[in-house]
Amino acid sequence: MSVRVACCQVALAVGEAGRNREEVLEAAERAAREGAGIVVLPELSNSGYVFHDLGEAVRLGEPLDGPTVGGWMDLSRRSGAVVVGGLCEDRGGRISNTAVLVDPSGEVTVYRKAHLWGEETLFFEPGDEEPPVVETDFGRVGVVICYDLEFPEWVRLAALAGCDILCAPTNWPLYPRPAGERPMEVVGVQANAATNRIFIAACDRTGPERGVRWVEGSVIADPDGWPLAGPREGEGIISASCDLEAARDKRIGERNDVFADRRPELYAGILERTRAGRRENR
């Protein structure tokens, strides 16, 4: 079954929660009107990203039963679309970089970013739950956030759990790269998609914020790793028709299968070396 997947690349502004909420919801509504069954929104789409300090992050936090998730739930119910978006979540004074998946039944699946980037460690508590994979009317949808994509083990967990499409709200700060080269963040999405033979929809943002510019790297990649849509500059929506059942075929040629060919018995040393490294760094 094919489904149209859309990523809404919106200009956000730190501290302007009402405006952010309105702009993001308007873009999501447009994507749904244009036929998207899965709509992906940026990371921290209610608050913006570049906080001055912890106090500002706390003030901009919002509970899961607040207006941001409430607006997405209403849209999902009315349109029949699955919505995946990020927000600064207030958990009673504790702050998380959170993504939610909302389906038309009103079910809300929550994921809190496990791998915090840069100054995020000053504001957010890291999550410690694996990426959720949710059965929807369109297929099995997984959720991670931004820097999580840099950890192949984390993406593989979602793929092994049966994920057909991995949705990733992101805020990718722009860093220099050689002329003519694609953003490495986009290359990483393509590599993860091909390695696991899944679709990945990463939704970036735009709009300069306190001196920070963004990659504007929203991209939808297929199980061969090729971009079906994106990246694009500025505000706008990218979308692509995705046959999610294709992600359930892990074969690459007559003799190879990216899951069946795994040899986990050879990989046990990775865990032991990781534990040893942590002990040495204490």
- CATH number for the domain spanning 203: value is 3.60.110.10
Q: Tell me which of 29, 43, 185, 216 is the catalytic residue.
A: 43
Alpha-carbon span 157 to 143, nearest angstrom: 11
Place of tokens 């953003």: 183
Task: Per-residue pLDDT tens, the chain, 282 aa: give them.
Answer: 799 999 999 999 999 999 999 999 999 999 999 999 999 999 999 999 999 999 999 999 999 999 999 999 999 999 999 999 999 999 998 999 999 999 999 999 999 999 999 999 999 999 999 999 999 999 999 999 999 999 999 999 999 999 999 999 999 999 999 999 999 999 999 999 999 999 999 999 999 999 999 999 999 999 999 999 999 999 999 999 999 999 999 999 999 999 999 998 888 877 777 676 555 655
Q: Confirm whether 43 is a catalytic residue.
A: yes
Alpha helices in the chain (DSSP H): 17-33, 54-60, 67-79, 120-123, 152-160, 184-196, 268-281
Name, in order, each residue with C-beta under 8 angstroms of 163's C-beta and a sequence gap of 6 or more.
131, 133, 140, 141, 142, 196, 198, 247
**Is 10 contained in some domain?**
yes
**Is 264 contained in some domain?**
no
- Residues of the domain holding 123: 2-254
Q: Confirm whether 113 is a catalytic residue.
A: yes
Question: Two tokens at 21?
Answer: 């909420």
CB 144 within 8 A of CB 104: no
Of 36, 21, 37, nearest to 70 by C-alpha is 21
Q: Tell me which of 7, 88, 146, 203 is the catalytic residue.
A: 146
CB 222 within 8 A of CB 228: yes
**Is 275 contained in some domain?**
no
Place of tokens 């943002």: 205
**Is 268 contained in some domain?**
no
**Is 262 contained in some domain?**
no
pTM of the model: 0.95
Judged by DSSP in three states, 121 sits in: helix
Q: Tell me which of 29, 62, 88, 113 is the catalytic residue.
A: 113
Place of tokens 């963040």: 185
When divided into structural domains, the chain yields a total of: 1
Question: Two tokens at 273?
Answer: 């070396």
